[in-house]
Copies of this chain bind each other. A is one copy, B any other.
Amino acid sequence: MKSKFSVASIMLMLISFTSVAQNNILVFQSDFGLKDGAVSAMKGVAMGVSADLKLFDVTHEIPAYNIWEASYRLVQTAPYWPAGTVFVSVCDPGVGTERKSVVLLTKSGHYFVTPDNGTLTLVAEQMGIQEVREIDEVKNRRKNSNESYTFHGRDVYAFTGARLASKTITYDQVGPKLPNQIVSIPYTKPSFGNGVVKGTIPILDIQYGNVWTDIDKKLFGQLGVKVGDNIKVQVFNADKKVYEGTVKFVNTFGEVTEGNDVGYFNSLLNFSLGINMGSFSEKYNVFSGNKWSIVLSKK
């Protein structure tokens, strides 16, 4: 268990935990895009397992091979789905290589079927590891699919996820139990000291150009900033300062006039930067990734 009291752990407590039994809900995520037939082939395989399944998506627009973003999108959405939901995430630069195929059961009762390549970093940390099992690819593989080495999403992950979600197999039947750990992508945790909060920019709110940090409400609270106060913000790309300015801390964008910069808590209750009716990212050339950091202090 980690010591930091994270936003997601708060959220999990808030969401009622009804059951860990699978609930026929199967949710797909991938970096396949929607222009070809790959996602549809996965769903067809699932419907072949059980026509009672209800199929949904997180997104299929994860940038190709971007495991970090795959990890982020899972933790952004999974807590809002009922316990028992099975997620299949296929972002797999190492398809056919040594990474294990696993199913993680979190303490919140959600299942994640995926290559164990870092995709589970954030859900494991924030939703808690209840149990990890390796997929037995002899038993849990689409019949006669052994000749295809390159589409485990269809032949192993969708197939296994569908069997699990529909209770065709129990969680135990996925395969042998592994130690309670998963492959994690290293990243710098946010911190407070000397009146300053430091964090990173894990991701952008792409559609609107808002900049999301990993500084949660509790950590931000150390600054003693209230709604309506000004905050001094510095953004760095590695060692280079990209932005320095003052933003007003608001509940909603409507509290400033159009075109003004704001700081606010996003839908995951993390501190974020935006512009009322504009794109902070585009205006200031601020982007996301493990090289991007942010420093906040009270003005």
Contacts and interface: CB of A to CB of B under 8 A. Distances in A.
Contact of A44 (B24, B82, B150, B255): B82
B80 A48 contact: yes
Band of interface residues on A: 35 or more
Interface string A234-257: 000000000000000001111100
Contacts of A100: none
A65 B251 contact: no
A269 to B, nearest CB: 6
A177 interface: no
Of the candidates A48, A51, A150, the one having the most CB atoms from chain B within 10 angstroms of its own CB is: A150
A265 B147 CA distance: 9
Interface string A61-100: 1001100000001001110111001000000011111100
Contact of A56 (B35, B40, B61, B208): B40
Contacts of A96: 251-255
B264 A77 contact: no
A148 B277 contact: no
A166 to B, nearest CB: 13
A264 B266 CA distance: 44
Contacts of A24: 51
Interface in A27-57: 27, 31-38, 40-45, 47-48, 51, 54-57
Contacts of A254: 94-98
A205 B219 CA distance: 44
Contact of A150 (B16, B51, B78, B264): B264
A206 interface: yes
A133 interface: no
Interface string A215-227: 0010000000000
Interface in A253-299: 253-255, 264-267, 269, 277
9 contacts: A14-B145, A15-B143, A33-B207, A40-B80, A44-B82, A44-B85, A47-B85, A95-B252, A148-B269
Given A37-B59, A40-B77, A47-B81, 16 more contacts: A14-B144, A15-B143, A16-B143, A25-B51, A35-B61, A36-B73, A38-B267, A40-B56, A40-B59, A40-B80, A44-B77, A47-B85, A48-B81, A93-B277, A147-B217, A150-B265
